[in-house]
Amino acid sequence: MSVPSTTSRPVAANSVWPRLEPLLPQVTKPIQYVGGELGAVVKDWDAAAVRWALMYPDAYEVGLPNQGVQILYEVLNELPDVLAERTYAVWPDLEKLMRAHGVPQFTVDAHRPVRDFDVFGVSFATELGYTNLLTAIDLAGIPLLAADRTDADPVVLAGGHAAFNPEPIADFVDAAVLGDGEEAVLEITAIVRDWKAEGRPGGRDELLLRLARTESVYVPRFYDVDYLPDGRIQRVVPNRPDVPFRVHKRTTMDLDAWPYPKKPLVPLAETVHERYAVEIFRGCTRGCRFCQAGMITRPVRERSITTVGQMVQQGLEFSGFHEVGLLSLSSADHSEIGDMCSGLAQQYEGTNVSLSLPSTRVDAFNIELAQELSRNGRRTGLTFAPEGGSERIRRVINKMVSEEDLIRTVVTAYTNGWRQVKLYFMCGLPTETDEDVLQIARMAHEVIKAGRAATGSKDIRCTVSIGGFVPKPHTPFQWAAMERPEVIDRRLKLLKDAINAHRSLGRAIGFRYHDGEPSLIEGLLSRGDRRVGAVIRKVWENGGRFDGWSEHFSFQRWVDAAAEVLPAYGVDLDWYTTRERDELEVLPWDHLDSGLDKDWLWQDWQDALSEYEQDDCRWTPCFDCGVCPSMDTEIQIGPTGRKLLPLTPVKGLKLPTGAQR
Ligand code: SF4
pLDDT tens, residue by residue, 183-207: 999 999 999 999 999 999 999 999 9
Going by alpha carbons, the residue nearest to atom 4 of ligand 1 is 628
Residue 285 CB less than 6 A away from ligand 1: yes
CA 225 to chain centre: 28
Q: What is the pLDDT of residue 641?
A: 63
- pLDDT tier at 657, thresholds 50, 70, 90: very low
Work out the end-to-end distance of the chain between its first and last CA atoms, rounded to an integer number of angstroms: 35
Query: How far from the centroid of its chain's Cα atoms is residue 556's Cα?
Result: 26
How confident is the model over 434-451, as pLDDT tens digits?
Answer: 999 999 999 999 999 999
Q: Is the CB of 614 under 6 A from ligand 1?
A: no
Check residues 309 and 374 and name the one with the higher pLDDT: 309
What local confidence, expressed as pLDDT, does residue 332 receive? 87
Going from the Cα of 304 to the center of ligand 1, the distance in angstroms, rounded, reads 21
Q: What is the mean pLDDT of the chain?
A: 92
| 2: pLDDT strictly greater than 70 | no
Closest-lying ligand 1 atom to the alpha carbon of residue 626: 1
Q: Is 622 in the pocket of ligand 1 (CB under 6 A)?
A: yes
* DSSP assignments along 359-428, one per residue: ----SHHHHHHHHHHTTTS----EEEEEESSSHHHHHHHT----HHHHHHHHHHHHHTT--EEEEEEEES
- pLDDT at site 367: 79
Ligand 1 atom having least distance to the Cα of 300: 5
The arithmetic mean of pLDDT across residues 252-279, rounded, is 93
Q: Provide the 3-class DSSP secondary structure of residue 282.
A: strand
Give the nearest ligand 1 atom to 596 CA. Answer: 6
Query: Would the pLDDT of 135 be above 90?
Result: yes
Q: Is the pLDDT of residue 652 over 50?
A: no
Lowest mean pLDDT across 171-180, 400-409, 554-563, 634-643: 634-643
Q: Which residues contact 190 (CB under 8 A, 6 or more apart)?
A: none
Count of Cβ atoms closer than 10 Å to residue 254 Cβ:
10
Which residues are CB-contacts of 149 (< 8 A; sequence separation ≥ 6)? 142, 143, 156, 174, 204
User: Quick check: 625 pLDDT over 80?
Assistant: yes
Higher pLDDT, 363 or 491: 491
- Confidence grade of residue 644 (pLDDT, cut at 50, 70, 90): low
The finding on whether 287 has its CB within 6 A of some atom of ligand 1 is: no
Q: Say what the pLDDT of residue 646 is.
A: 52
| pLDDT at residue 245 is higher than 90 | yes
> How far, in Å, from the CA of 334 to the mean position of ligand 1?
17
Question: In testing the pocket of ligand 1, which one of 253, 301, 627, 632 has its CB within 8 Å of the most ligand atoms?
Answer: 627
Residue-level pLDDT at 386: 93
Our mutation pick for probing the ligand 1 site, out of 295, 604, 635, counting the most ligand atoms within 8 A of Cβ, is 635
Q: Does residue 658 have a pLDDT over 60? A: no
Higher pLDDT among residues 642 and 19, named by residue = 19
Distances, alpha carbon 169 to alpha carbons 129, 221, 455, 649, in Å: 11, 12, 53, 48
Give the pLDDT confidence score for residue 647 in this predicted structure.
54
| Mean pLDDT across 556-567 | 98
| Residue 661 pLDDT grade (very low, low, confident, very high; cuts 50, 70, 90) | very low
DSSP 330: S
pTM above 0.85, yes or no: yes
pLDDT bracket for residue 181 (50, 70, 90): very high
pLDDT for 73-132, tens place per residue? 999 999 999 999 999 999 999 999 999 999 999 999 999 999 999 999 999 989 999 999
- Smallest CA-to-CA distance from 370 within 326, 316, 336 is with 326
Q: Is the pLDDT of residue 577 over 60?
A: yes
Ligand 1 centre distance from Cα of residue 187 (Å): 27
User: Would you state the pLDDT for residue 270?
Assistant: 87
Residues 636-641 have a mean pLDDT of 70
